[in-house]
Each structure stands twice: as structure tokens, then as C-alpha cells.
Amino acid sequence: MRNAADLVVAYLEQIGVEHVFGIPGGAVEPLYDALARSERRGGLRHILARHESGAAFMADGYARETGRLGVCISTSGPGATNMITGVACAYDNGVPMLVISGQPSLPSFGKGALQESACTGINTVGMFRHCTRYNSLVSHPEQLEQKLVSALMHAYQAPQGPAHLSIPLDVLRSPVAMGRRAYDLEALLMRKADLVDEGAVLRLADELSQAGRVVFLIGAGAGDAIEEVLALAETTDALFVCTPDGKGYVNPRHRRYRGVFGFGGHAAAEELLRSAPDLVLAFGTSLGEWNSAGWCDAVLNSRMVHIDSNDENLMQSPMARMHVRGRLKAVCERLLTVLQAEPPAAVPLRVGQTDPVAFLHAADAFASEASPVKPQRLMKALSERCPPSTRFVADTGNSTTWAVHYLQPNDRRLLRQGLGIRRTAANERRSGTASWLRVTMDFAPMGWAIGAAIGIARARPNGPVVCITGDGSYLMNGQEITVAAEEGLPVVFVVLNDGALGMVRHGQRLAGAESIGYALPGVDFRRMAEAMGIPGHRITSPAELEALDFEAMLARQGPTLLDVCVDPDEVPPMSVRMRALRPAG
Ligand SMILES: Cc1ncc(C[n+]2csc(CCOP(=O)(O)OP(=O)(O)O)c2C)c(N)n1
Ligand SMILES: [Mg+2]
């Protein structure tokens, strides 16, 4: 006879989860016993984080990379409250996650048990309520199976997000009959069928065939449909721009690409949207502050057709000319079929190949050999020197703006083919949404990228990962680098060391506010890494940067730290944020 904890583990094994991230404690001990049994028989592997928010960030990265469920686990009380920031971030970014936290045994509720977190304690269930898609305390062993399946279904169905189960110690320990799993998980967790709103698709096809100039806005939700979206761009002779969190799905050297629209983005993208195209097709985007360029009227107008499987995203665009609900892949396939039934005359591209450098603000800084290193110059080196298979993850702070604006993948094949990220049969299964660059929008916690990079690296053994972060974020969450070391993961952590909470400093300057609360102490992060047994380099000039052997660092079975002393006075492309912060009137 196994216990309820074994049942949870058996379900996770059944849906193909390979790694879970967490930190143990007394209240979840039976779950860890079950994880140990699973690991012994080649099942789940537990990755021990250093802080529960790190565990949630890792689960987030793992889920984004694999398209599977991210799982994070904490004990009751402080373990659960530590995890909340990471869970809230996943909620805001629509990342499917199962969050398990502990509780003391049921009979002790209300008696001041250590770390009691039910309604008679500090009530973690209450705290998770506003950042989860499902949230429940399992108050009887018989509830567990049904609640677990409900949690999984909520996590996976659009709008996707985290589901939280709070499970008391005695419930985890209760014996349950195994092998009785009555639910057909495969069917239950299937994404909403590829239903297409046929009427809307036909109307859109009609609009498209009459439209002169069409522009696409490609968002984060377009990941698993990117090939179809780009095929549609060919068919309709559309140029496209991306949101910051959509950039990683496309090749910035694509001949139809015109830059990023939104936080850290390019003037060319906004100009294109303002050039009065007949239609703007927005694919899979939440149109929040950062990916609507501060609710910019260049996109939020009646030229827009918003296509999304997430109704909450559609609620942000009531002014749109049309809403098309459905899974993007299916909608695009249907549109391609309908449009090709009456193929438009062969469409020679009206504009030529573009060099993405042409979109850059301050292109001189991008090529600057000055010391300290310009952040733009650092992005150039990373773009050129990291192998094409590199996954970049950029942290909240200036790193997001530098990466979104300046980073490009080093992939010449894509230059010729002009396609988005290609998916082979082998990685199609592993990766629903292959993306060369990941950023987090909306909730945007500092340090997200540090954990996410580890989750991504854990999900794709041997695939190189580069985490671009700030000194402030690293001082907040950098201890997770030791997890990458323990796991032997090829992650290069690039710390943009400007001795400041740089985004705050520049934000204050640009707004004409007081200069306060941004200064950080000078820290030698290479020596900090060394103390953890991790190799590092301190970089003070472009020449030192170019002398690094990126291929070797990224082939290493373990992390490397680059402490890059960047020019703190370079102003990041953060005008979108300034636009949103400006007082009304
Ligand atoms: C957890 C958290 N606290 C505060 C903020 C507000 N914030 C946004 S960016 C930033 C500064 C980040 O500094 P650093 O990591 O050094 O990056 P830099 O901008 O200097 O490159 C702060 C404080 C935040 N986003 N998340
Ligand atoms: Mg900084």
C-alpha cells in the first residue's frame, strides 16, 4: 500500500514530468519520501533550489522550454510565502505550473503548530488565491485525486497558469489504493480541440483579400504556430513586428521583420504600425504595458484583428475591428487553406532584405571599443560569439531592454532561409515553443532569469544557455548559480555590473525625479563565483570580452560567471516605461 504522496508522484510521472524543483521541510516530508522512491526507479528527479522563488522560476523556465508542466514544491509557512513571487510571475505570463505546498497535520489546525498556514494560521491558501488558476487545501485524502486532476486541467487550459494545492502532512501520509487511477489524463489534459471559429476566419480571409497593406504583430502566444504565422505573412505579403516576448520566435534577419514593438523596442516597428496599414493582425499577445508599448494607439485601434486562444488577452482589445478565437496554429492553417483556394497573384516582396542593425538606436555604441564596455557592445559580442543553439534569458531591469533591442541569434542558416526558429521532428516533441530569447513581462521580478535559465538548461541537456542579468538581480537571487553547478548545467551567467539598480537610476533621471535608492556596492562577482567553485571572468574592456572562448564556456558541463563592468551612463531604451509612468494630464 502506497500513500497519497506516491499518488501525486505517479500522476506527474504519467504526464511526462521529468524534473521538479523545490525545497523540503517537515510538512512535505512524505512527498520527498515518494520523490526519493520515484527517483530510485528512474522516475522524477528533484532539483534542490536555494530559495523557493528560485524553485518557482526554475519550474517556469522548464515549462516554457518543454511545453510541459512546471512543478515547484515548498513546505508550509515561509517556504510557501517565499514561493509566491515566482508563482505570481508565472500567473502573469500564463505559464502552466503545479505548485505544491505543505501544511501541518489536520488535527493540529488552530493549535499554533509550527508554520501552520491554514485559515487559523497565516493562511497561505488565501495568499495564493490571487495568483493561481486553481487553489485548494486538500482537507481529506479522498479529495486528493480529484483535486489534483482539477489542478492539472486548470494549469493546462487557456488561460494557462499555476494551480496550487496545499496538502497537510497527514493527508500526504494517508494510504491510498494505487493502480486505481480512474481518470484518462491524456484526454482530460488535451488542449482545447483545434476548433476554429469558421465564420470569423472566413470574414478575416475576406478582409485580407481586400486589404492593401497588412502588418503582423507577433506575440508570446504565437510560439507553437510560428511557422504557420510566417507562411501566412508570405501569402498575404505582410511585414511583421514582434512584442518583446515574441522576438525569440523569429529570426531578426527575416526579410519581412521590422523590429520589436514595445518595451526596449525599435522606432521602425512603431513607424510601420503608424504608417496606416489596412490591417494589423495581432497574434497571441496580452497587450499589457510592455507589449503594447504603453497601450499605444499605434496598435490599439480599429485596424487591429486580434487572434488569440486566451480570452483574457482578447479582453484587452475591445477596440479591435475583429476578434478571432482559437488556437493560433489551427486558425492560421485554416486561413492558409481558405486564402490559397484563391491564391493571390504571386507576391514579389515590395521591400528588400533588411539588416537588423538598421533598426538599432545608438548603433555607434553597438560597435564601440570604449571601456568600460557599452552594454550595447556586450549584446553584439553575445550575438556574434554564442553558438546558434544558444538560448538567451534576459532579466528584469536594463538587461531586458538591451537584449530586446540589440540581441540577435548567430544563425546564418536562418539568414538564408528567412524562417523562424526551425523545429525538427526530434525537438518538436520536447519543445512546443522553441525560442532563442526569453524575457518576462508584466509581473517582471528581478532575478527571474537566473532561475528560469537553470530550468531551461535542465530541460535541454547540453543545450547552451546564457542568462543576462544585472548586479542588483544577482545580489537578490544569484545564489541559485550553485544549483547549475550541482547539476552540471552549461549556463553562462552574464552580470551587467553597473554598481546600481540601473533601470531605477535611469528612470529617475529621465523622469526628472530625485536620485535615491539606486546605488549598489562594488562587488567582484568573479570572486564570489570562485568561492562557490565556479569559474568566472571579470571583463573591463571589449578586448577582454572578445578574448573569451564562448564555445568552450558553453560546452562546459557547469556554469561560468562573467562579471562585465558596463558603462553605467548608457541610457537604456526604456521610453515605453517612461510613457506609462508619466503623470496624466
Ligand atoms: C523583486 C523586484 N524588486 C524591485 C523591482 C523594481 N526594479 C525593476 S528593475 C530594478 C533594478 C534592477 O537592477 P539590476 O538587476 O542591477 O539591473 P540593471 O537595471 O542595473 O541592469 C528594480 C529595482 C523589480 N522589478 N522586482
Ligand atoms: Mg545594475
**Which pLDDT belongs to residue 426?**
35
**Which pLDDT belongs to residue 347?**
53
**From the CA of 57, which ligand is nearest?**
1
* CA distance linking residue 143 with residue 153, whole number of Å: 16
**Which pLDDT belongs to residue 423?**
43
Minimum CA distance residue for ligand 1 atom 11: 501
**From the CA of 506, which ligand is nearest?**
1
Single-letter residue type at 416: R
Rounded to 5 degrees, φ, ψ at 212 are -80, -70
Atom of ligand 1 at shortest range from CA of 399:
21
**Which pLDDT belongs to residue 303?**
97
How open is the CA angle 187-167-123, to the nearest 5 degrees?
120
Minimum CA distance residue for ligand 1 atom 20: 502
Cα(221) to ligand 2 centroid in Å equals 30
* CA distance linking residue 284 with residue 530, whole number of Å: 43
Question: What is this structure's pTM?
Answer: 0.94
**Which pLDDT belongs to residue 431?**
42
Atom of ligand 1 at shortest range from CA of 498:
20
The distance in angstroms from the start CA to the end CA of the chain is 68
**From the CA of 473, which ligand is nearest?**
1
**Which pLDDT belongs to residue 4?**
96
Minimum CA distance residue for ligand 1 atom 17: 470
**Which pLDDT belongs to residue 428?**
36
470 CB contacts (<8 Å, ≥6 apart)? Answer: 395, 397, 398, 399, 446, 495, 496, 498, 501, 502, 503
**Which pLDDT belongs to residue 582?**
79
Minimum CA distance residue for ligand 1 atom 4: 446
Pairing outcome for strands 560-565 and 175-176: unpaired
Ligand 1 interacting residues, C-beta cut-off 6 A: 396-399, 444-446, 470-473, 496, 498, 500-504
SS3 41: coil
Three-class SS of 192-249: CCCCECHHHHHHHHHHHHHCCCEEEEECHHHHHHHHHHHHHHHHHCCEEEECCCCHHH
Given a contact cutoff of 8 angstroms between Cβ atoms, the answer to whether 500 and 506 are in contact is no
* CA distance linking residue 71 with residue 63, whole number of Å: 8
**From the CA of 503, which ligand is nearest?**
1
**Which pLDDT belongs to residue 421?**
43
Cα(131) to ligand 1 centroid in Å equals 21
* CA distance linking residue 218 with residue 220, whole number of Å: 7
> What is the residue-level pLDDT of the chain in tens, covering all 585 positions?
689 999 999 999 999 999 999 999 999 999 999 999 999 999 999 999 999 999 999 999 999 999 899 999 999 999 999 999 999 999 999 999 999 999 999 999 999 999 999 999 999 999 999 999 999 999 999 999 999 999 999 999 888 999 999 999 999 999 988 765 668 787 788 766 567 889 999 999 999 999 999 999 999 999 989 999 999 999 999 999 999 999 999 999 999 999 999 999 999 999 999 999 999 999 999 999 999 999 999 999 999 999 999 999 999 999 999 999 999 999 999 999 999 865 555 455 555 556 777 788 888 899 999 999 999 999 999 999 999 999 999 999 999 999 999 999 987 655 434 334 444 433 333 344 689 999 998 899 999 999 999 999 999 978 899 999 999 999 999 999 999 999 999 999 999 999 999 999 999 999 999 999 999 999 999 999 999 999 999 999 999 999 999 999 999 999 999 999 999 999 999 887 777 777 776
Q: Which of 503, 564, 570, 578 to mutate to test the pocket of ligand 1 (most atoms within 8 A of CB)?
A: 503
CA atoms within 13 A on the CB side of 107: 1
Cα(445) to ligand 1 centroid in Å equals 8
Cα(566) to ligand 2 centroid in Å equals 9
Q: Which of 376, 378, 396 to mutate to test the pocket of ligand 1 (most atoms within 8 A of CB)?
A: 396
Maximum pairwise Cα distance, the chain: 76
How open is the CA angle 34-139-157, to the nearest 5 degrees?
75
Cα(476) to ligand 1 centroid in Å equals 10
Atom of ligand 1 at shortest range from CA of 446:
26
Cα(367) to ligand 2 centroid in Å equals 22
Cα(472) to ligand 1 centroid in Å equals 6
**From the CA of 395, which ligand is nearest?**
1
Minimum CA distance residue for ligand 1 atom 18: 502
